[in-house]
Amino acid sequence: MEQVRVRFAPSPTGHLHIGNARTAILNWIFARQAKGSFVLRIEDTDQARSTDESEGSILQDLRWLGLDWDEGPEAGGDFGPYRQSERLEIYQKYAQELLEKGHAYKCYCSQDELEEMRIRALKENRDPKYDGRHRNLSIDEQKAYEASGRIPAIRFLVPERDICFKDLVKEDVTFPAGDIGDFIILRADGMPTYNFAAVIDDALMKITHVIRGDDHLSNTPNQVALYEALKFPLPVFAHIPMILGEDRARLSKRHGAASVDIFAKTGFLADALFNFVSLLSWSSPSGDEILSKQRIIEEFDFSRMSKSAAIFDTTKLRWMNSSYIRDVPAERLTDLCLPYLSSAGYPLPADRQLLEKMVLSVKNSLDVLEDVIAKTEFYFAEEVRPSCSEGYGTLTKETTQKVFWSFIRQADQIGEINVKSFREIMKAVGRETGVLGKDLWMPVRVALAGDLHGPELPLIAEIYGKQKIVALLKKWLVE
């Protein structure tokens, strides 16, 4: 069988959008499953908007997601160059071939004429497509236009027949004859249009499967017609459903983190985002949702892909990310949290083990890494104060005074407080005061952490040590 070759072809005009990241992930999964090649191609023909900075950030985001490419920028390969701006002569060559074979023609229409054509079509309730007025210009007419200073674009002559193709998601797709007008393949400035450049590149790079968002479905008949005119073998198409926000509108910046770099900066783990995005519109036959990359590679199947748009459920993503965070070893998690703690300006302890204990104490409450700032704030606060009126009420109970006095007396009898000794002290306090359950534990929690909920109290106590615990309890004692 022919080796599977897929491609991801971003335009370097900004950050990697989550929709494009999903396309890259599915192409990578399919390539790895088939033991084929994943090609990265940079579509930078929009010279006004394309930047080296954007290209660099896209490559960085792909690497962060754990995606490697077999061919493309920095990797090289036998089918380069892999930037469209370096392939202009190739496009011009094939445009000339289409002209010579009668599959294309020169169009001298001005922008004003094209706009007038569009407006008239809309008024007459017709599709605003090109009306073919320059299809059959004579040589003399062409010379006259050029003498007047007009530089022609090159349009593809769309065949007057249905255009059909098979799709791994949409199945059999047909665009009836007349649905699309003759379209530009080479602009007057010599730059290729998207549809033309993509076909030339995919064919010459021997791409076997074109996997992309279904917002490209309308481009496909144009591309199929070009493949056929150039006698290139047609790839297999797979148009995956769009991603919508929870309001059922197309995912955009207003829905929050629309680009991969924002997810990374917020503290989503790469494996969690990869897992979540790979399951948009697709599911494992097992029904499991937490899946390793290897399982996703093994189980992915286009036959299980929904035809409906995928909903980007941020709540579900945060749940999935929290699950991944809980599996991160304490040392590694501390490394991941350190930039967030440093950015908050906290006076971090020099003792690395102590810092790891702080992070470990809040690990189960982190949805994203940046949550560590708020969750550990009480450790670094100059003064611990109750966060709510209920907390104040807990501290002012008559039984609380008994508990605090008893705790201090018990603490005086031991050297250091750790998880084990703290629990023993609390048992002794309960026996001495007769205060049990919530009335025993909650006041101590509020005095030490300022909240009714949070990390395990014995772990907080071990992190603080006896001196700080006693000082915090004494603050609420009535002499």
Whole-model pTM: value is 0.91
Q: Domains of the chain: which residue ranges?
A: 87-240, 328-380, 383-474
**Contact status, residue 48 vs residue 94, Cβ threshold 8 Å:** no
Taking the C-alpha atoms of residue 283 and residue 299, their distance in angstroms, rounded to an integer, is: 9
Share of the chain above pLDDT 90, in %: 88
Segment 213-221 mean pLDDT: 95
Taking the C-alpha atoms of residue 137 and residue 134, their distance in angstroms, rounded to an integer, is: 6
Taking the C-alpha atoms of residue 281 and residue 92, their distance in angstroms, rounded to an integer, is: 39
Closest CA to 141 of 155, 152, 131: 152
Q: Can you list the alpha helix ranges (DSSP code H) found in 149-249?
A: 194-204, 220-230
Neighbouring C-beta atoms of residue 383, cutoff 10 Å: 8
Q: Give buried/exposed letters for 178-190 (b at 16+ CB in 10 A, else e).
A: eebbbbbbbeeee
pLDDT in tens, 357-412: 999 999 999 999 999 999 999 999 888 888 888 888 899 899 999 999 999 999 99
Taking the C-alpha atoms of residue 267 and residue 75, their distance in angstroms, rounded to an integer, is: 29
Assigned CATH topology for domain 383-474: Arc Repressor Mutant, subunit A (1.10.10)
Q: What is the 3-state secondary structure (H, E, C) of 221-245?
A: HHHHHHHHHHCCCCCEEEEECCEEC
Q: Give buried/exposed letters for 165-175 (b at 16+ CB in 10 A, else e).
A: bebbbbeebeb
Share of the chain above pLDDT 70, in %: 98
Taking the C-alpha atoms of residue 363 and residue 376, their distance in angstroms, rounded to an integer, is: 10
The CA–CA distances, whole Å, from 279 to 288, 291, 335, 433 equal: 10, 9, 28, 55
**Contact status, residue 210 vs residue 179, Cβ threshold 8 Å:** no
- Mean pLDDT, the chain, integer: 94
Higher pLDDT, 35 or 2: 35
Of 101, 143, 166, 253, which one is the catalytic site residue?
A: 253
**Contact status, residue 207 vs residue 6, Cβ threshold 8 Å:** yes
Answer yes or no: is pLDDT of 252 > 70.
no
**Which residues have C-beta within 8 Å of that of residue 248, sequence separation ≥ 6?**
309, 311
| Catalytic site includes residue 170 | no
Answer yes or no: is pLDDT of 423 > 60.
yes
Neighbouring C-beta atoms of residue 24, cutoff 10 Å: 27
State whether residue 83 is helix, strand or coil. strand
pLDDT band at 68 (very low <50, low <70, confident <90, very high): very high
State whether residue 436 is helix, strand or coil. coil
- Encoding tokens for residue 239? 């148009």
pLDDT in tens, 146-185: 999 999 999 999 999 999 999 999 999 999 998 899 999 9
pLDDT band at 255 (very low <50, low <70, confident <90, very high): low
Answer yes or no: is pLDDT of 349 > 60.
yes
**Contact status, residue 351 vs residue 334, Cβ threshold 8 Å:** no
Closest CA to 93 of 206, 229, 174, 200: 200
Q: Count Cβ atoms within 10 A of the Cβ of residue 372 and give its class: 0-12 exposed, 13-18 middle, 19 or more buried.
A: buried
pLDDT in tens, 434-449: 999 999 999 999 999 9
**ω into 81 cis (within 30 of 0):** yes
Answer yes or no: is pLDDT of 314 > 70.
yes
- CATH value of 87-240 in 3.40.50.620, 3.40.50.20, 3.40.50.720, 3.40.1190.20: 3.40.50.620
Taking the C-alpha atoms of residue 457 and residue 441, their distance in angstroms, rounded to an integer, is: 8
Taking the C-alpha atoms of residue 292 and residue 277, their distance in angstroms, rounded to an integer, is: 13
**Contact status, residue 460 vs residue 384, Cβ threshold 8 Å:** no
Taking the C-alpha atoms of residue 47 and residue 28, their distance in angstroms, rounded to an integer, is: 27
Residue identified by tokens 């994203």 is 368
pLDDT band at 245 (very low <50, low <70, confident <90, very high): confident
Q: Count Cβ atoms within 10 A of the Cβ of residue 417 and give its class: 0-12 exposed, 13-18 middle, 19 or more buried.
A: buried
309 Cα distance to chain centroid: 16
Q: For residue 373, what pLDDT is reported? A: 97
Q: For residue 2, what pLDDT is reported? A: 78
Assigned CATH topology for domain 328-380: Helicase, Ruva Protein; domain 3 (1.10.8)
Segment 200-209 mean pLDDT: 98
Answer yes or no: is pLDDT of 207 > 80.
yes
Segment 413-429 mean pLDDT: 95
At 399, the amino acid letter reads T
Taking the C-alpha atoms of residue 379 and residue 89, their distance in angstroms, rounded to an integer, is: 63
